[in-house]
């Protein structure tokens, strides 16, 4: 194998070269920008983690699994996974082997960016040998892999359901330019290499193309046209890349080390979150996952579109979309890049001004009598509207002979989470401080909480010295495990709903199920645990009104009815109230369900 | 004249009155009732506003003369087939009836009070419903009513409430509350009786007198404010939270008895038949007639009639008038 | 105004015809539920902050509707945004957003 041209250059490589130069410049500037936006502490954290061997290994592994193989998508749907990894991994291998070829055959040209890409144009085959045909085969093989991915990608645009997606993202104009040029690159490469296959050699993909139109193809005029088109497609893609979703390709390489360094989102569109925003590939998996998608009018407010508006810095839409969100965290759970949409939205909310001027100095007079007790029960604001919960908890605690007191029996101070969800973190501090003082002065060992919303804020924001915060699902399960609470098993089938703040928020999935399986039979929901569907009542949403929540709740109820349960069980007063609106099946609180096991004692 | 069959589904006061009038017009009404006795909700009520006539007396008068009416109790509708000739109704006892005209009088059901958990029905001991209280007026037996000193009536339980999935006013509960407040005051003259209302909607002739009597003679205290939540202390006394919206002050008061004025929802058979017969229903679940003003008793389909509370909440006199009107409409239809 | 040479003490009469409701209209645009209230008082009765203060969302909303932008609005500062009022409202008013919208438009910070 030898070079065809002494100069080793042809003007057709220019579109590609310019595009490449543009992308590299853009990415380097972007990289510097993101790094500069990080706080000093974060920068140090990132630097330290880069050099830790364990972390470095993790970074490499994540880059391989996430960027090239798309493991998360494989798990979601193998067809979707194959489509993405065939393009990403196939293309990557084409580049890698292109470079290896260049290194082996023309090492002095290895420094030229374009050489490995247009290798087949610049080379001429002298004689057939094993090494050469190995590369011919490999390159054609990966070209086939990529092409198969492209065919699937085209099919996905027509029928996304085939890939397990009901809806796909509506693409922006630059996304379309990127998409169509990406689709064009590989067929054009195939044709271009087919043209030169007679000269430079080829394998099972390119040779047949060459043979097919022998006379037409051996015309040198046509050869150059084909390679020009291939280069233009590449160039177009490169120029569109920074302004399209394909920015995720370079951005993810930055995001992975940042994530593994444990950075936190501190601003909606700076530093760590900027890296996340650009890593979003707009795949649209979050659209189907979003509980708001139960009504069409909300589709445009899902995370993928929020990311687009953040990129455009459209403050009005960013705020509107954020205020509408239920903050259930499901999009984050299904996201293949684990975009921290919850944190990003929180930062947007925290920056919104409402001119409320909240003042809680009136709380100084609040001194509830808790007495001294082992277990202090905090019911929360909403539980006074679901008296069955309180009554059932009382029954269970008294049956287990627990020394307990309710802290907010005569009206208490809100836990602070609704304020935090409205972006009023600083104001919430006053409530947290007050509650902390009351709880600590009670001398209790355990703070028992029956509301999933309260529980999350107690876990995340409160620092209670020597006091264990327990959700009643954890606590009662523990009591049963220890044999202090004995309940009888009945025949009722319970479908347990994972409240967002308890499940995805605090990772409590097993305890409630274990406890319930001691009093009855668990009837699984269609989607549960981390995939659970928000009930639609969430205080996380600021702007969704009562009517627009109805379809969300109805969809969530349907999800719960999957295996025809006798009861829907939930462990949050808000879910309880919300489900009760539209459920054809009786909706009960977790403690109420456990009490079914008390009654059968004879 | 050949005596045509007319099937009437629902043996409450409306169905009975339709049947009686159809018989008088020379037809053979076939009255089908799901329960074991005729009379519907009238059987469960003690006295009727505004004058306090005994419900049982009205029912007795209505049922005393059913000669010529073929009536069946304990009957469930299995299926109804529509043909060009009319309707074929199959029931679970194996019988099947043919008719050219079908009258639906399936009525209403009371809002299940336990669905408003914050009021504590079936959770707290001393919370009862308007239906429970009527039962008590008749039997004078209810363990929850033990010489109460303070009594509260909560209006609009399950009515005018998006959270109860019923936006509509149930129309008759305000008058019922005023009637029941006066009656309970008669039984317990020393008790203080409060009525918590959002708006008092007493619309009929001499209902205002009833209201005045409740104020003047019985000293019932009307508080303009909706009860938002109820809790219970260790002795079983109830704490009720409401805002006195006229004074603009929130109030928390202790009560011995709380009566929930449950609203009116379409009856289960109303819902069932709307599916079976494809009758249009409104957002509230009640049947939508062909024309709400000119033809309130006719469905879109020819030969299908409806009357009484299945087209919305009504008082007994309204229901009975509508029943008679429907009988004439059926007659006009059958003698075209 | 005709000068009679003396002034009467400030009367409590609301001058509805002089009402400037431009801000309330802006509020209604921001939160369409602003006109839906039937003044049942449920929000006030079950208010978590109402246990400690005079906060009455009903009163605030009604007074704003009547053009009174002074007397009650600063009560809003004690709200804990807990959302109980949203749960009890029979009209399904999105009270939390209503509260935030009121403060956005009428600015309750410096009162």
- CATH code of the domain occupying A361-478: 3.40.50
Range in A75-84, A128-137, A151-160, B173-182 the model is least confident about? A128-137
Residues 6 or more apart whose Cβ sits within 8 Å of residue A205: A140, A143, A144, A190, A193, A194
The DSSP bridge pattern shows strands B221-224 and A2-3 to be unpaired
The Cα of A333 is separated from the nearest Cα of chain C by a number of Å equal to 26
Domain assignment of residue C9, yes or no = no
Q: Binning pLDDT at 50, 70 and 90, where does residue A325 land?
A: very high
Q: How confident is the model at residue C111 (pLDDT cuts 50, 70, 90)?
A: low
Domain with CATH 3.40.50 in chain A: 361-478, 488-599
Model confidence at A19, in pLDDT bands (50, 70, 90)? very high
Rounded percentage of chain B residues whose pLDDT exceeds 70: 99
Q: What is the pLDDT of residue A202?
A: 83
A589/B7 Cα distance (integer angstroms): 45
Q: What is the mean pLDDT of residues A171-200?
A: 91
**How are strands ordered across the β-sheet holding A567-570?**
A521-522, A493-497, A567-570, A586-589
Quote the minimal CA–CA distance from C26 to chain A in Å: 14
Helix boundaries (H) for A77-172:
78-105, 119-122, 130-158
Which residues, numbered 59 to 98 in chain C, qualify as contacts with chain A under a Cβ-Cβ cut-off of 8 Å?
Answer: 76-84, 86-88, 92-94, 96-97
Query: Quick one: pLDDT band at residue C2, thresholds 50, 70, 90?
Result: low
Q: Does B232 touch chain A (CB under 8 A)?
A: yes
Interatomic CA distance for residues C108 and C100, integer angstroms: 10
**ipTM of the predicted structure?**
0.91
A524-539: pLDDT as tens digits: 999 999 999 999 999 9
Task: Give the pairing of strands B47-48 and B221-224.
Answer: unpaired
Domain tally, chain C:
1
Assigned domain for C13 exists: no
Q: Which of B120, B165, B231 sits opposite A581 (nearest CB)?
A: B165
Q: Which residues in chain C have their CB less than 8 angstroms from residue B162's CB? A: 89-92
Residue C86 lies in a domain: yes
How high does pLDDT run on average in chain B? 95
Residue A182 burial by CB count (10 A; 0-12/13-18/19+): exposed, middle or buried?
buried
Distances (CA, A) of A47 to A42, A44, A257, C94: 9, 5, 9, 47
User: Which residues constitute the domain of residue C39?
Assistant: 20-106
CATH number of this structure's domain A488-599, picked from the four choices 1.10.1070, 3.30.70, 1.10.3470, 3.40.50: 3.40.50
Find the mean pLDDT for residues B264-293: 94
Kindly state whether B233 is in contact with chain A, defined as any CB-CB distance less than 8 angstroms. Answer: no
pLDDT score of C9: 56
Mean pLDDT for the stretch of residues C92-108? 92
Distance between CA atoms of A266 and C27, rounded to whole angstroms?
31
Confidence band, pLDDT 50/70/90 cuts, at residue A485: very high
The predicted structure's pLDDT at residue A356: 83
Q: Which of residues 283-302 of A touch B (CB under 8 A)?
A: none
As a whole number, mean pLDDT of residues A57-77 equals 90
Is A542 close to C48, i.e. CB distance below 8 A? no
B120–A387 C-beta distance less than 8 A: yes
Is the model's pLDDT at C8 over the cut of 70? no
pTM above threshold 0.80: yes
Our CA-based measurement puts residue A574 at a distance from the nearest CA of chain C, in whole angstroms, of 8
Mean pLDDT, residues A306-326 taken together: 95
Give the model's confidence band at C5: pLDDT under 50 very low, under 70 low, under 90 confident, else very high.
low
Burial environment of residue A32 by CB neighbours within 10 A (0 to 12, 13 to 18, 19 or more): exposed
CB contact under 8 A, C38 and B250: no
Q: What is the pLDDT of residue B238?
A: 96
Q: Does A20 have pLDDT greater than 60?
A: yes
C10 belongs to a structural domain: no
- Supply the pLDDT for residue A163: 87
Most confident of A110-119, A188-197, C45-54: C45-54
pLDDT at B316 over 70: yes
**Cα angle at A382 between C94 and B165, to 5 degrees?**
55
pLDDT the model gives residue C4: 58
- pLDDT of amino acid A2: 76
The span from the CA of A387 to the CA of B124, in Å, is 9
Contact between chains at A385 and B124 (C-beta distance less than 8 A) = no
Please enumerate residues of C whose Cβ is less than 8 A from a Cβ of B: 38-47, 50, 56, 58-59, 87-92
User: pLDDT, tens digit, for every residue of B135-146?
Assistant: 999 999 999 999
Average pLDDT score over residue span B228-252: 93
Q: Mutate which of A384, A418, A430, A550 to disrupt the C interface (most C C-beta within 10 Å)?
A: A418
Judged against a pLDDT cut of 70, whether residue A296 lies above it is answered with yes
Phi, psi of B151 (to 5 degrees): -130, 135
CA distance B34 to chain A (A): 23
* pLDDT at position A602: 47
Of the partner residues C38, C45, C89, the one whose CB lies closest to the CB of residue B243: C45
Q: How far is A33 from chain C (nearest CA, A)?
A: 34
B-chain residues within 8 Å CB-CB of A386?
Answer: 117-118
Q: Does the beta carbon of A581 lie under 8 angstroms from any beta carbon of chain B?
A: yes
Mean pLDDT of B80-98: 92
C9-26, pLDDT tens digit by residue?
566 777 777 788 899 999
Query: Would you call C83 and A381 a contact, using CB atoms and an 8 Å cutoff?
Result: yes
Domains defined for chain B, CATH in brackets: 5-107+267-334 (3.50.50.60), 111-264 (3.50.50.60)
Model confidence pLDDT, tens digit, residues B30-73: 999 999 999 999 999 999 999 999 999 999 999 999 999 999 99
Mean pLDDT of A242-269: 94
């Amino acid at each position: 194998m030898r070079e065809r041209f002494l100069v080793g250059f042809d003007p057709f490589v220019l579109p590609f070269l310019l595009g490449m130069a543009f992308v590299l410049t853009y990415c380097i500037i972007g990289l510097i920008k993101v790094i500069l936006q990080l706080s000093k502490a974060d920068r140090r954290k990132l630097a330290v983690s880069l050099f830790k061997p364990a972390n470095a290994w993790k970074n490499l592994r994540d880059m391989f699994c996430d960027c090239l193989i798309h493991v998360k998508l494989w798990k979601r749907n193998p067809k979707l996974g194959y489509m993405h990894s065939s393009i990403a991994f196939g293309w990557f291998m084409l580049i890698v082997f292109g470079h290896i070829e260049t290194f082996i055959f023309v090492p002095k040209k290895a420094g030229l960016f374009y050489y490995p890409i247009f290798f087949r144009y610049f080379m001429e085959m002298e004689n057939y040998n094993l090494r050469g045909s190995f590369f011919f085969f490999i390159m054609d093989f990966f070209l086939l892999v990529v092409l198969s991915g492209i065919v699937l990608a085209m099919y996905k645009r027509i029928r996304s359901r085939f890939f397990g997606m009901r809806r796909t993202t509506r693409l922006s104009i630059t996304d379309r330019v990127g998409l169509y040029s990406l689709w064009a690159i590989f067929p054009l490469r195939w044709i271009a290499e087919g043209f030169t296959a007679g000269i430079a050699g080829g394998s099972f993909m390119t040779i047949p193309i060459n043979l097919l139109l022998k006379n037409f193809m051996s015309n040198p005029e046509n050869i150059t046209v084909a390679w020009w088109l291939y280069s233009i497609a590449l160039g177009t893609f490169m120029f569109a890349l920074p302004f399209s979703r394909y920015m995720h390709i370079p951005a993810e390489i930055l995001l992975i080390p940042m994530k593994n360094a444990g950075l936190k989102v501190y601003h909606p569109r700076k530093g760590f979150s900027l890296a996340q925003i650009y890593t979003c590939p707009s795949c649209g998996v979050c659209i189907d996952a979003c509980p708001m998608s139960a009504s069409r009018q909300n589709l445009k407010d899902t995370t993928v579109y929020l990311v687009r508006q953040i990129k455009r810095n459209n403050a009005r839409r960013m705020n509107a979309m954020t205020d509408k969100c239920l903050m259930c965290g499901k999009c984050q759970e299904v996201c293949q890049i684990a975009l921290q949409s919850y944190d990003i939205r929180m930062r947007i909310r925290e920056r919104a001004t409402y001119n409320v001027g909240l003042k809680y100095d009136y709380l100084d007079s609040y001194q509830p009598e808790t007495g001294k007790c082992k277990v202090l029960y905090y019911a929360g604001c909403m539980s006074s509207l679901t008296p069955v919960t309180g009554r059932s908890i009382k029954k269970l605690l008294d049956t287990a002979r627990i020394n307990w007191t309710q802290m907010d029996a005569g009206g208490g101070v809100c836990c602070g989470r609704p304020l935090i969800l409205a972006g009023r973190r600083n104001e919430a501090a006053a409530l947290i401080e007050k509650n902390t003082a009351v709880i600590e002065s009670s001398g209790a060992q355990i703070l028992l909480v029956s509301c999933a919303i309260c529980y999350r804020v107690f876990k995340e924001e409160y620092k209670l010295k020597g006091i264990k915060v327990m959700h009643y699902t954890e606590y009662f399960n523990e009591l049963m495990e220890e044999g202090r609470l004995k309940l009888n098993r009945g025949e009722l089938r319970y479908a347990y709903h994972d409240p967002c703040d308890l499940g995805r928020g605090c990772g409590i999935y097993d305890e409630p199920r274990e406890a319930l399986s001691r009093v009855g039979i668990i009837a699984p929901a269609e989607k549960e645990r981390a995939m659970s569907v928000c009930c639609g009542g969430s205080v996380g949403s600021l702007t969704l009104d009562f009517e627009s929540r109805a379809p969300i709740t109805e969809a969530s109820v349907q999800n719960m009815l999957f295996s025809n349960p006798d009861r829907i069980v939930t462990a949050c007063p808000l879910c309880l109230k919300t489900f009760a609106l539209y459920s054809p099946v009786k909706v009960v609180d977790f403690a109420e369900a456990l009490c079914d096991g008390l009654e059968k004692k004879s | 004249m050949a005596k045509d069959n007319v099937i009437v589904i629902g043996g409450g006061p409306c169905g009975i009155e339709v049947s009686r009038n159809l018989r008088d017009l020379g037809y053979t009404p076939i009255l089908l009732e799901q329960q074991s006795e005729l009379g519907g909700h009238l059987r469960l009520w003690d006295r009727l506003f505004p004058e306090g006539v005994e419900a049982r007396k009205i029912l007795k008068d209505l049922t005393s003369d059913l000669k010529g009416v073929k009536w069946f109790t304990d009957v469930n509708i299995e299926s109804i087939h529509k043909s060009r000739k009319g309707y074929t109704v199959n029931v679970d006892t194996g019988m099947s009836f043919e008719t050219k005209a079908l009258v639906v009088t399936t009525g209403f059901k009371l809002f299940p009070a336990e669905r408003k958990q914050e009021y504590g029905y079936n959770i707290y001991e001393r919370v009862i419903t308007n239906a429970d209280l009527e039962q008590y007026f008749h039997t004078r037996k209810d363990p929850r009513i033990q010489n109460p000193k303070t009594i509260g009536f909560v209006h609009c339980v399950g009515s005018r409430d998006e959270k109860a999935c019923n936006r509509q006013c149930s129309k008759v509960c305000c008058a019922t509350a005023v009637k029941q407040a006066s009656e309970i005051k008669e039984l317990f003259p020393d008790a203080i009786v409060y009525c918590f209302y959002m708006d008092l909607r007493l619309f009929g002739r001499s209902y205002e007198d009833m209201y005045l009597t409740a104020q003047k003679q019985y000293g019932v205290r009307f508080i303009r404010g909706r009860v938002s939540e109820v809790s219970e202390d260790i002795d079983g006394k109830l704490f009720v939270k409401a805002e006195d919206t006229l004074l603009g002050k929130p109030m928390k008061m202790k009560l011995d008895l709380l009566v929930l004025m449950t609203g009116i929802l379409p009856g289960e058979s109303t819902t069932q038949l709307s599916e079976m017969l494809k009758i249009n229903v409104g957002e509230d679940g009640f049947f939508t007639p062909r024309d709400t003003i000119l033809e309130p008793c006719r469905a879109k389909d020819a030969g299908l009639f409806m009357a009484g509370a299945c087209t919305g909440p009504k008082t007994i006199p309204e229901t009975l008038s509508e029943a008679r009107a429907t009988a004439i409409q059926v007659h006009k239809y059958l003698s075209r | 105004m005709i000068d009679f040479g003396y002034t009467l003490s400030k009367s409590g009469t609301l001058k509805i015809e002089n009402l400037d409701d431009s801000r309330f209209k802006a509020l209604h645009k921001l939160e369409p539920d602003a006109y839906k209230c039937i003044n049942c008082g449920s929000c006030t009765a079950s208010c978590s902050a109402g246990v400690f203060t005079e906060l009455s969302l009903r009163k605030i909303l009604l007074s704003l509707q009547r053009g009174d932008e002074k007397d009650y609005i600063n009560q809003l500062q004690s709200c804990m945004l807990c959302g109980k009022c949203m749960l009890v409202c029979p009209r399904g008013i999105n009270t939390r957003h209503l509260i935030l919208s009121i403060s956005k438009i009428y600015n309750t910070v410096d009162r």
